[in-house]
Structure 1
Amino acid sequence: MTSRTKSPATAGGRAGGPRRRLRARAAALRNRLMVGLFMPRRRKRTAQLHYAAILDGQTVNLHAQLPPSAGLPERAEIVLRRGRRRHPSEARVYEGPNGEALVDAAVLLGADVGGLPVTSGRWRIRLRLYSGRRSRTLSLLLLQPPVPYEGPTKPMEASPVTGERHRLGRSVRGSARVVSTGARAAVEVSKVHLTHAGVTVDFRVLGTGVDEPWAEFVASGRRIEQAVTPIGPGAFSVHVPLGQMTPRGGRPEHWDVVLRDRTGRSMRLGRRLHDVRNPLRVFAMRSMAITPSGHQPMIVQPRYTPAGNLRVTCTRMPEAG
């Protein structure tokens, strides 16, 4: 008589189904409470956001209308709060065309870019109003969460400078908040320079550290190890001679670039901190016909894959036979 055992993947997959359904039911109940109960009751005593978005990955853009009870304050500021930490940012308050009080704000996030020093976690967004010596604080009611738009570009998912990620969310009572997370471990290409001598790639390491790193240019059955040169904090440069990348057969050879270090970590080089939907088309780079010393002519084409990974394609010139 034989016994059957379930693999961890199978058991985990079956257990994940009920958990997903439970989370979905909890989210639906939360949304019903928010839209049907809390938000209608809070409309008259909160500032209502007519627009809220983070388009560049690091700036919160807000446009809100104050409740009639707030009058027209002399000045206003946005305050991000988490626990005992509070970070204020100036806002503009003015009178709208129908006499309503409106507030606009652009809040830059991240100490490294000169913005508010937010850390990972959920930050409540509050509006602080001042009239003379008096002040009051209002919640910002997010009636509709940001909706992704169509087109060749999209909202940035991360800061293009630091890689830190910020998104807008809502509490169960409908109040707006910013959810921040640290940068994901990645190697971001800053510049690709192609000459008749070789390919030079400048890049940044985000979200992690590297210990005695080096780069590898990898094609099918081939591997070229190259030293990297530090050019700034977390920034490096690598150069590979094109004489080492000449195709061995008649087919093109596609070289990917990988950063490795002595801990065994490996990360692909690419461009991911951008707002375009097709990096292959938008970040197109010129090809070059090159004849490395002692080798046959070839065409070298650096490019980005649809996933954003850097790839260098080397193709033997047809007339070279």
Structure 2
Amino acid sequence: MTSVRYRLGRLRRAFITWAVVRRAWLMQSFFLPVRRNSGAQLRYAALLDGQTVNLHAVLPASAGVPREAELELRRGLRGRHRVPARVYQDRDGSVLMDAVVLLGDEVGGLPIETGRWKLRLLLHDRRSQRLPLLLLEPPVPYGGPTKPMHASPITGDRHRIGRTVTGNARVVSAEARPAAEITRVDLSHTGLVVDIRVLGTEVTEPWAEFKEKRRRIQMPLDRIGPATWRVAVPLEQMRLRRGVDHWDVVLCDSEVRPMRFGRRLHDVRNPLRVFAIKETVVAPRGLDPMIVHPRYTAAGNFRVTCSRMPEAGRSD
């Protein structure tokens, strides 16, 4: 049975690879050359902050200089939204279009559902016309300390800019992945408290599990708001067994799969450095003082590192 599944998996991956290559060839060799002058060409298409679409396009000469313009997002027969677009003439005489679209009714934007939304430009003058927005080149990831965001920092919903096989630009939206997103870390000399938001799923009676090698400590989560929870880190139970102990934190619930505590809804490439938290000496009840350092791994997972104080273990 295992070998059959392995072979089916290989065939599926090979077919997907073949389909992607074939689709790219059709787009680049046939559709885009034929349609290059029939629509508005996007010179810039980006999704900023995980929820704001920014577009800049040049219109074909046949469009003229319209009086008004709208950007239309359409999905199927019923899903349709329109937002104003700015059309103006450049110094060289070309007609340009700028548009900004905020996605998600939770943040005051368009209430789009999950799925693929086609982009169209509606031009209004003495007569109206509809132009496709052609994405000749896909967005290229940029370098530096930040990276493009593909999820809303408020809702966790995922959005990206793509294109059809004919080259039309579209927005692809999906629901938030199940996650336990950290919103606050409060470290003092008396203890450590962590607040989280649960995204992409619902939990009923969750608890937090602190893991270090073979040790496990379960702690209750207290609800502090809609989909938000708080846990006090049980430092008094984290007796040091070595010079340094690393504790990972997992949210558990009987109805969902375990989720690591973490911080991922951001555009930072190095969360370990940017979201650094200073270590503090904490005196847990019943234990010797120890150094507690909450931090994030390179993958954005939350980790509590406990270590001995330099003075501990010294003989007078």
- TM-score, normalised on structure 1? 0.92
Match of 1:278 in 2: 270
Say whether residues 1:229 and 2:247 are aligned partners.
no
State yes or no: 1:163 paired with 2:156. Answer: yes
Give secondary structure in 2 for the equivalent of 1:44.
Answer: coil
Describe the SS at the equivalent of 1:21: helix
1:290 aligns to what? 282
Q: Report the equivalent of 2:297.
A: 305
Equivalent residue number for residue 135 of structure 2 = 142
Q: Which amino acid aligns with 1:310?
A: F
Equivalent residue runs for 1:1-321 within 5 Å: 7-8=1-2, 10-84=3-77, 85-132=79-126, 134-247=127-240, 249-263=241-255, 265-321=257-313
- CA distance 1:173–1:212, change in 2 (3 Å): same
Where structure 2 has 5 or more consecutive residues not aligned to the other structure, the ranges are: none
CA distance in 1 between counterparts of 2:256 and 2:63 reads 59
- Provide TM-score, normalisation by structure 2: 0.94
Aligned residues: 312
Residue identity over aligned pairs, in percent, reads 58
For the Cα contact (< 8 Å) 1:196–1:242, is it kept in 2?
no
Task: Tell me by how many angstroms 1:210 deviates.
Answer: 0.5
Q: CA distance change for structure 1 residues 103 and 220 in 2, over 3 Å: closer, same or farther? A: same
2:83 corresponds to which letter in structure 1?
Answer: S
| Conserved? CA contact 2:293–2:304, under 8 Å | yes
- Runs of 4 or more above 6 Å deviation: none
Q: Structure 2 CA distance, aligned partners of 1:14 and 1:303?
A: 42
What is the alpha-carbon distance in structure 1 between the residues aligned to residue 15 and residue 103 of structure 2?
34
1:272 and 1:304 mapped to 2: Cα distance?
10
**Cα distance, 1:304 vs. partner?**
0.6
Q: More deviation in 237-246 or 143-152? A: 237-246
Q: CA deviation at 1:241?
A: 4.3
Q: CA RMSD in A?
A: 1.6
